Structure 1
Amino acid sequence: MRSCQESFDAYILRSLGGDYGERLLPRGVDITLCDQVFLIASGLIWNVYFAALALAAGFFVATALAVAKFSENPFLSKPASGFIFLFRGSPLFIQFFFAYEVFILLPRAGIEINLIFTTITAETRWLARATSGALVVLWLNTSAYTAEIFYGALRAIPKGDLEAADAYGMSGFTKFRRIIWPTMMRLAWPSYTNEAIFLTHATTLVFFSGFPAWQQSGDALYYARYFADQTFNPFVSYPIVAAYFIVLTLVVIGLFGMANKRLNRHLPQTVRPKFRFRPQYIR
């Protein structure tokens, strides 16, 4: 029976693959509580990876989509509305499955792009891996949901703020940068925090979909399911996952709460809106 220190050394970075720990997972009666705690913690690295990168990339795409949907130009608003409707109207699990099937159908040698003077080959094999293909799906999904949140905030901007900007003679981009975008962020931030929490939880679907875990290097829920199958006791590994995600949720709330204070720093303390966590149970 290995000690907790030995379990920590063997499994805390096991999900990264390669030479970062034991190649073989513990089996049967050899599984200890420390094995489950540290190996599931190792898998949490991938959950943080998916959530952080998808949110970071999706934030900018969502801003562009929200502005396009808010535009009076139908050539901008219609495609943006269609994209948002597509990804908000279909289940995330189905999006993972469909995207994986599309990615593996792409030519393994890559796609040739003719640039007249030369032909380049775009690699496509990387899209069939969870670390990249699943990240693309999460990025597009959160972009759609966040864009709808930002669009609602754009519609809620007081007209008086826009009229004051016009009265000062601000140009279109200056008005967006100094008035529209900051106000949109302040109005949308509480709902955007809920989206960040939901996306963090949704990363557990990656290895339940078609994307395979290379060398049994999966996320936290992947290892929890492995332990439940090995020990025939789901009441140890799954509560460990739940505890880790509760802590991760508190971290997200803390970070977004600090950002909320930063966004409202210009307001007096007495009228500054307090950040409250309102879980979005039904998306």
Structure 2
Amino acid sequence: MSCLQTIADYGLRSVGVGERLLPKADITLCQQFTLIGSGLIWNVYFGILALFFGFLFANALALAKSSRYAIARKPAEWFIFVFRGSPLFIQFFLAYEALVLLPRNGIEIFGLTAQISWLSKAWAGALIVLFLNTAAYSAEIFYGALRSIPKGDLEAADAYGISGWSRFARIQWPTMLRLAWPSYTNEAIFLFHATTLVFFSGFPAFRQEADALYYASYFVDKTFNPFIPYPIVAFYFILLTLTLIWVFGAVNRRLNRHLPSNERSKLKVRPQIIR
């Protein structure tokens, strides 16, 4: 079987397209690159959706934490503290154990039965955990940036009569993003790396349609050689990290386009080893 035929057969296997059976003998390097790359689709799925919804929720949490009203501030503070204070893997474990305890026949709401069994699947349950976790970390980043907005900017807004929502949307939020973006880039990179923990969590994959680490582990079991599959996973994630740095760097340049070149904040990527 040629490498092109292998790519055609297994390139989209992780999403249910192509050959169902995995190779069990005479495993080639092309098969390993193809299937691990196919599994990376799920890692990208988890990362993009968790990052998108986490970004929106983090903005709301940052605003709530900076509120003068305790009814909004305290829940945000405790949410951020709990998800930043506990290991991500423990969050995966507790979430899975909680979700499998839900009634399998669904929950009745106003006489209608809502199916909730899908929440215990990896594509949904693991995504929820990643979303909540990155929202907590990102909220703390945005909160710090919100507190660091120069007072002169706010005083200038008051002088021009800009207040309320208009002041937040036109001055506070753009400035907050500009100040927080370098740190938020590191959080985004770590989030994509953290998607590999889904393999170790209790959330089951559907019909072996799993992430990159699942296929790498499969090849290690078949070949008894961890020095090929795992470096392939690392290679793919290095490429993914470079892509994220390029994308977030472009956004950072856009956010700082109005500043002189010597005052523009530059991205300093410092991936976290552990959380």
2:212 paired with 1:213 = no
2:186 paired with 1:194 = yes
2:36 paired with 1:44 = no
- The within-5 A match list for 1:214-229 is 214-229=206-221
State how far apart, in whole Å, the 2-side matches of 1:24 and 1:249 are.
31
SS in 1 for 2:207: helix
Return the offset for 1:108: 1.5
Q: Which residue of 1 aligns with 2:5?
A: 6
2:176 paired with 1:184 = yes
Q: Which residue of 1 aligns with 2:18?
A: 21
Identical pairs, percent:
68
Q: Which residue of 1 aligns with 2:158?
A: 166
Q: Which residue of 2 aligns with 1:274?
A: 266
2:87 paired with 1:88 = no
State how far apart, in whole Å, the 2-side matches of 1:270 and 1:93 are.
41
Amino acid at match of 2:38: S
Give CA deviations for 1:207-238 in whole Å, capped at 9, x if unaligned.
Answer: 21101112111100110011011100000000
Amino acid at match of 2:21: L
Return the offset for 1:282: 4.7
CA contact (8 A) 2:149 2:172 kept: yes
State how far apart, in whole Å, the 2-side matches of 1:151 and 1:3 are.
53
Return the offset for 1:99: 0.9
Normalised by the length of structure 1, the TM-score is 0.94
CA contact (8 A) 2:182 2:266 kept: no
Give CA deviations for 1:107-141 in whole Å, capped at 9, x if unaligned.
Answer: 11211123xxxx33322011011111111111111
Give CA deviations for 1:81-124 in whole Å, capped at 9, x if unaligned.
Answer: 0001111111111111111111111111211123xxxx333220
CA contact (8 A) 2:217 2:229 kept: yes
Amino acid at match of 2:124: S
State how far apart, in whole Å, the 2-side matches of 1:274 and 1:155 are.
20
State how far apart, in whole Å, the 1-side matches of 2:228 and 2:257 are.
44
Return the offset for 1:267: 1.2
Return the offset for 1:172: 1.0
The 10-residue stretch of structure 1 (244-253 or 214-223) with the greater mean CA deviation from structure 2: 214-223
Normalised by the length of structure 2, the TM-score is 0.97
SS in 2 for 1:112: strand
State how far apart, in whole Å, the 2-side matches of 1:207 and 1:277 are.
26
State how far apart, in whole Å, the 2-side matches of 1:86 and 1:275 are.
28
Runs of 4+ more than 4 Å apart: none
CA contact (8 A) 2:216 2:230 kept: yes
- The within-5 A match list for 1:81-120 is 81-114=77-110, 119-120=111-112
